[in-house]
Structure 1
Amino acid sequence: MDPLLLSRIQFAANISFHILFPAITISLGWVLLYFKLRYNRTNDHAWMQAYFTWVKIFALSFALGVVSGVTMSFQFGTNWPGFMEKVGNIAGPLLAYEVLTAFFLEAVFLGIMLFGFRRVSNRVHTLATFLVAFGTTMSAFWILALNSWMQTPAGFEMRDGVAFPTDWLAIVFNPSFPYRLIHMLLASGLTVAFLIAGFSALRYLLGDRSESMWKVLRTGVAMGAILIPIQIFVGDQHGLNTLEHQPAKIAAMEANWETRSNVPLVLFAWPDEEARENRFEIAVPSGASLILKHSPSGVVPGLDQFEGKHPPVAPVFFAFRIMVGVGILMLVISWAAAWFLFRRSTLPRPLAALMVPMALSGWVATLAGWYTTEIGRQPWLVTGVLATEQAVGPVAGSNVAFTLAGYLVLYVVLLIVYLGVLIHMARKAAKEGDNQPAPAVKDHPADQPMLAGE
């Protein structure tokens, strides 16, 4: 019943559930815009069928993201009052900017995307789709600015134990922000790529051979095949930035117990923090030095430099390897699917069956990456400024445990319902194919009905 531990678990549960849905909406908005622009250019109704299928999923994801985000905001006051007391002068405005410049934009124009296709011109409907996509990206911009500042704070000064901003440009564009923003945007792109590809693969296995299914499947596979090599490169650059500004996190990620040269790349091990050694280690000699210092003899900081001030090793170590392992799997499957789709114009059923569970691979990789980032920051809530234990509120552990149990039950139910809706939509779309009903867009230049058979 330790209030600190329970409050950390509760916030982790909330953010784990919440991040699943922005990971979809950030990129899915741009995919919807792509579908709409393709329809405008070609007048191929299959693109509009794809749009109307996925705009429903976007709306559902957006709603769940908003609801779960509200509970996180409340926890700043109920569970972590020390956070806002000490750094609220910086965190408050950044959160407000996100609401003013992003959330309002998404909320207003999402209504036009969903219900305005018969009431506004085709050009206005396309503009609304763009503004919603832009709003989701701006939301990521401000949230990542705050999170990055917590990792690598800059542009402030302390007065009587309270942080005051001195340079907002330095606060927003802090040393780790560009890497984190690009890394997260690419993660969202990969999440959506494998989601729409896996969704379409399920339709394929159910017998759907419609044009809209093929177009969405090719779009998802192409996105995944293109973005995953870029993400690997950006992840490497992000790692080098983290080595410079948060070496303790890198030491935990690599389970590197002492500062030395020729540090091996540990593929698998069981880190023993009490003995300060790795059990059952499988490693590549000098691999970590080569990756982090670009030299086999490069000296990599170890955990011995951060006695008492480094994160728990095992969670960071395993989370990082899960993220990397899923990324490698994404690379193999997306390139294999791209070869079959774009060279042979077909998709083997075993590969399609493998792509269905890969629809959730983006979620797994994103969560593993966030656990690496957030647990790797410990024992700090704001690096070098505010320790986690200093921010927790005076709430009884029993009260936190009760609300935590309620959150977990609710989130499990909502997640099951969400996935159930996606499966139901896939089955319905597979059954109806290109004959599924979809409303006409007002004032489209071709002025034709949505369905060829209408």
Structure 2
Amino acid sequence: MEELLLSRIQFAANISFHILFPTITIALGWVLLFFKLRFNATGDDRWMAAYMFWVKIFALSFGLGVVSGITMSFQFGTNWPGFMETVGNVAGPLLAYEVLTAFFLEAAFLGIMLFGASRVPNWLHTLATFLVAFGTTMSAFWILVLNSWMHTPAGFELRDGIVHATDWWAIVFNPSMPYRLAHMLLASGLTVAFLITGVSAYRRLIGDRSKGVRLTLKTGAWMAAILIPIQIWAGDMHGLNTLEHQPQKVAAMEGNWETSSHVPLLLFALPDEEKRQNDFEIGIPNGASLILKHDPAGVVPGLNDFYAEDGTALHPPVAPVFWSFRVMVGTGVLMLLMSWTTVIMMRRKGGVDGLNPWLLRGLVAMTFSGWVATLAGWYTTEIGRQPWLVQGVLTTEAAVADVPAPMVATTLAAYLIVYAVLLVAYVTVMFRLARKASDGEDTRPHSGAAQVALVPGE
């Protein structure tokens, strides 16, 4: 059990670090394409200034995403050999599709996107930006296909304990895939929106009054204000899908022990798995029933329905799922309030110049709020799948390698140290780029393009 817990923590640390960067590159690629197209259409130098600053952040994020993805993939063999042994006939091809349709595309055109503005025609540079953005999205598509299949497996049969694919359409378009994909793409969009808004607000606070910064702050704020209501709707649909296919996860998210109607939405509680009850509950009457069933009298499943005859829990750990879900939702509410407040203030005050310093500081504080919400959401969905690695097919315990606990602990400590250093360096470089950005506009689309991703000065 100690080896299992340490291996789970190690993989969680790896994937938590890794997901930070694709969460940025997926949406930032499309934002860069938007900047480029607007520059092409209007000739307005502000759009190119925005492109040339944010493409540096894209390059930095892309590089760390690739490096962390490689180390994460090694763990399938070192810590979780049972995964590929059992479901490799499905997981292997899906991961190969990602490489063939996404990674090669990104690798082929990333150099043109970063360094080709003065070396290739403008249409080709624009096309390269589009293909890189498309590639990052395709990468997310295939990874989320596999992840969704692990939650709602379909299109396969078990023979001698090994999964064999029988219907690839059912595998790819498994019951939870559309909801999980939409939820993640919107999460990426919100992460980038608040990143752009926060960094732009920081530049305003340190005295940058360039037109490009005003434009990016406005763009990020409107992007966040538009996406957050859509994300709330997508999250609701995803929750209903989860209720249908993984009711034990929803019961843990709600901290609900008894299947009943008129279930309150708990704002605060301390779940006690030994006593099978919550302490210090604070809730909204009928709230959970209304959200999950769209009926205040709706029946919500309880955790006590998910115990084996011998008393073994067949539901996930309650407290981590319960609290990570509330962190995700709470962060989303803050995003809604901040983005709408910013947009309203801009409309009332005549634009970015009218924003108060306190609001700008609030936006800076929310710079990485998308990361917080994304990680909390992933903890909710992945811990909520336990004790299964592949729902109903393969348990987490059955897939783990027999690696001595001290060895796992040592490598875990090494990973944590390296990732902490890299994360601090990433944030430091990002804000160093922001500080070094001058008030002038770096709009050189046809000169000095090799400096786009490497030179911090704007």
Range into which the TM-score falls when normalised by the shorter chain: over 0.9
* Alignment match of 1:388 (pick from 388, 396, 401): 396
Query: SS state of the match for residue 356, structure 1?
Result: helix
1:316–1:371: 8 Å Cα contact kept in structure 2? yes
1:333 aligns with 2:341: no
CA distance in 1: counterparts of 2:90 and 2:347, whole angstroms: 49
**Where do residues 109-124 of structure 1 align in structure 2 (5 Å cutoff)?**
109-124=109-124
Which consecutive unaligned segments of at least 5 residues does structure 2 have?
308-312, 448-458
- Specify the alignment match of 2:254 in structure 1: 254
- Specify the alignment match of 1:290 in structure 2: 290
Q: How far off its partner does 1:305 sit?
A: 1.0
- Specify the alignment match of 1:150 in structure 2: 150
Which amino acid in the other structure matches residue 421 of structure 1? V
- Specify the alignment match of 2:357 in structure 1: 349
**Where do residues 22-61 of structure 1 align in structure 2 (5 Å cutoff)?**
22-61=22-61
Greater shift, 44-53 or 175-184, is seen at 44-53
Which amino acid in the other structure matches residue 177 of structure 2? F
- Specify the alignment match of 2:423 in structure 1: 415
2:249–2:315: 8 Å Cα contact kept in structure 1? yes
CA distance in 2: counterparts of 1:222 and 1:290, whole angstroms: 30
- Specify the alignment match of 1:404 in structure 2: 412
- Specify the alignment match of 1:219 in structure 2: 219
Deviations 1:62-118 (CA, angstroms, capped at 9, x unpaired): 000000001111100000000000000000000110111001111221100111111
Query: SS state of the match for residue 281, structure 1?
Result: strand
CA distance in 1: counterparts of 2:369 and 2:55, whole angstroms: 21
- Specify the alignment match of 1:311 in structure 2: 316
Percent sequence identity is: 70
- Specify the alignment match of 1:434 in structure 2: 440
Let me know the Cα RMSD of the aligned residues. 1.1
Q: How far off its partner does 1:298 sit?
A: 1.1
Q: How far off its partner does 1:405 sit?
A: 0.5
CA distance in 2: counterparts of 1:334 and 1:196, whole angstroms: 12
Q: How far off its partner does 1:209 sit?
A: 1.1
- Specify the alignment match of 1:302 in structure 2: 302
1:164 aligns with 2:164: yes
Q: How far off its partner does 1:420 sit?
A: 0.2
Query: SS state of the match for residue 283, structure 2?
Result: strand
- Specify the alignment match of 2:454 in structure 1: none
- Specify the alignment match of 1:272 in structure 2: 272
CA distance in 1: counterparts of 2:446 and 2:176, whole angstroms: 43
CA distance in 2: counterparts of 1:257 and 1:332, whole angstroms: 32
Greater shift, 392-401 or 183-192, is seen at 392-401
- Specify the alignment match of 1:451 in structure 2: none
1:81 aligns with 2:81: yes
Deviations 1:32-91 (CA, angstroms, capped at 9, x unpaired): 000000100111111111111111110110000000001111100000000000000000
- Specify the alignment match of 2:230 in structure 1: 230
CA distance in 1: counterparts of 2:11 and 2:345, whole angstroms: 43
2:276–2:304: 8 Å Cα contact kept in structure 1? no
Greater shift, 47-56 or 147-156, is seen at 47-56
Q: How far off its partner does 1:438 sit?
A: 4.9
Query: SS state of the match for residue 256, structure 2?
Result: coil
Q: How far off its partner does 1:400 sit?
A: 0.7
Greater shift, 181-190 or 286-295, is seen at 286-295
Which amino acid in the other structure matches residue 58 of structure 1? F
Greater shift, 222-231 or 37-46, is seen at 37-46
- Specify the alignment match of 1:179 in structure 2: 179
* Alignment match of 1:360 (pick from 361, 368, 392): 368
2:45–2:443: 8 Å Cα contact kept in structure 1? no
Which amino acid in the other structure matches residue 427 of structure 1? R
Query: SS state of the match for residue 414, structure 1?
Result: helix
CA distance in 2: counterparts of 1:274 and 1:395, whole angstroms: 30
Number of residues paired by the alignment? Answer: 440
